Copies of this chain bind each other. A is one copy, B any other.
Amino acid sequence: MKIGIVGASGYSGEVLVKLLLNHPRVTLAAVTSRTLAGKALAAVIPSVRGADRGLRFSDSDPVALAAGDIELYFLALPHGAAATYAQALVAAGKRVIDLSADFRIAELAVYEQYYGGHRAPELLPSARFVLPELTPPAWKTEAKLVAAPGCYPTSILVPLVPLLKAGVIGREHIVVNSCSGVSGAGRKLEETFLYVERAESLKPYGLLKHRHLAEIEEQLALHTGAKTIIQFNPHLAPLRRGLATTITVPAARGATIETLYGAWRAAYANRPFVQLLPAGETPDTAHTVGTNRIDMSAVHDPRTGNFVITSAEDNLMKGASGQAVQIMNLWCGFDETDGLL
């Protein structure tokens, strides 16, 4: 099966390229970029030297892509740009997995509040937000277009959703602190992302209304049946890759650490990419880098009555491109772990 990547010059595009070059079930047949057309893949992504099968960036005219024989496209584009490609490709009957925010928010008004005008609102009904461990499997037949989740939302939804559904925790006073590696910002040429500014620096940012909040809270509501407002405090840490999330939430009356782990086990038994660590053992971003895993654990604090829930993932893998490949695997009927172990 031939697949293509539109816009592979960013960090998540680069990881996608590596994963798909090595995937046992698909052939990476096109990597497109308006600005890089004609360049050898390895000239732009030097880490694939010798493994790039001679691929070159091709031009990325949506109409031409729609006319070709590639069956599935990943869009690794800035939001806004993705919608335009999705229109052409979906119209031509291609499957599309979009890594941008364009189709993550089902409710148009919420999207517009966080991101501005939407370029392809007519596609929203046929788009599905798919977090494979949480989204009911009907998407595999319904979707024409899949929105892959963001890095922060994945690190928060995977631990929280089963606990809210099982009533192990309440909906009040949920406090989420996350620390992200710098690649989370993409390859942006801003002074704050220079090596000298980031090395040896840790700082909160985007404390109010970080864009991922829209996605997190919409999904919490959809999965758990009620509006849930969280405090979300993102931080920038001197990591190339990695995302650590620590959630503090009051335990529901009668809930114990065993109840909590029981809810997790019920939700994630046999899910290859969710690893539950024992209470007291904390996940470490470094242990997840290069993998598609999310590692999680929790403790109950009898002094405060809170659970403290921790997760770690690679922001470019389970938080972006690895998860997008996982989605493809499920959508196309491959083994869920193909190309991801």
Contact = CB atoms under 8 A, between A and B. Distances in A.
Interface string A268-309: 000011010000101111111111010100010101101010
A286 B197 contact: yes
B230 A304 contact: yes
A289 B199 CA distance: 12
A196 interface: yes
A237 B11 CA distance: 21
Given A175-B175, A175-B248, A195-B238, A231 B201 contact: no
A194 B183 CA distance: 10
Interface string A23-67: 000000000000000000000001101110000000000000000
A104 interface: no
Interface stretch (A105-113, A143-151, A204-212): A204-212
Interface in A199-252: 199-205, 207-209, 229-231, 233, 235, 237-242, 244, 246, 248, 250
**Closest 8 A/B residue pairs (Cβ):** A201-B286, A195-B198, A46-B287, A203-B284, A177-B177, A175-B175, A182-B195, A175-B248
A92 B308 CA distance: 48
A179 interface: yes
A237 B237 contact: yes
A240 B200 contact: yes
A2 interface: no
Contacts of A289: 47, 200
B235 A244 contact: yes
A49 B275 contact: yes
A314 to B, nearest CB: 10
A341 interface: yes
A195 B180 CA distance: 13
Contact of A238 (B204, B230, B238, B246): B238
A93 B51 CA distance: 36
Interface residues of A, number: 75
The copy count of this chain in the complex is 4
B244 A203 contact: yes
Q: Which of A189, A241, A282 has the most CB of B within 10 A?
A: A282
A173 B47 CA distance: 33
Given A51-B341, A273-B50, A197 B200 contact: no
10 contacts: A22-B341, A175-B175, A175-B248, A182-B196, A189-B194, A199-B240, A201-B239, A207-B282, A207-B299, A231-B306
Given A196-B182, A290-B290, A308-B233, A246 B204 contact: yes
A231 B304 contact: yes
Contacts of A50: 272-273, 275, 291, 293
A46 B201 CA distance: 13
A303 B175 CA distance: 13
B196 A240 contact: yes
Given A201-B284, A204-B246, 9 more contacts: A46-B287, A187-B194, A187-B196, A195-B195, A200-B200, A200-B241, A200-B285, A207-B280, A229-B303
A306 B241 CA distance: 30
A173 to B, nearest CB: 5
Nearest to A205: B282
Contacts of A308: 204, 207-208, 231, 233
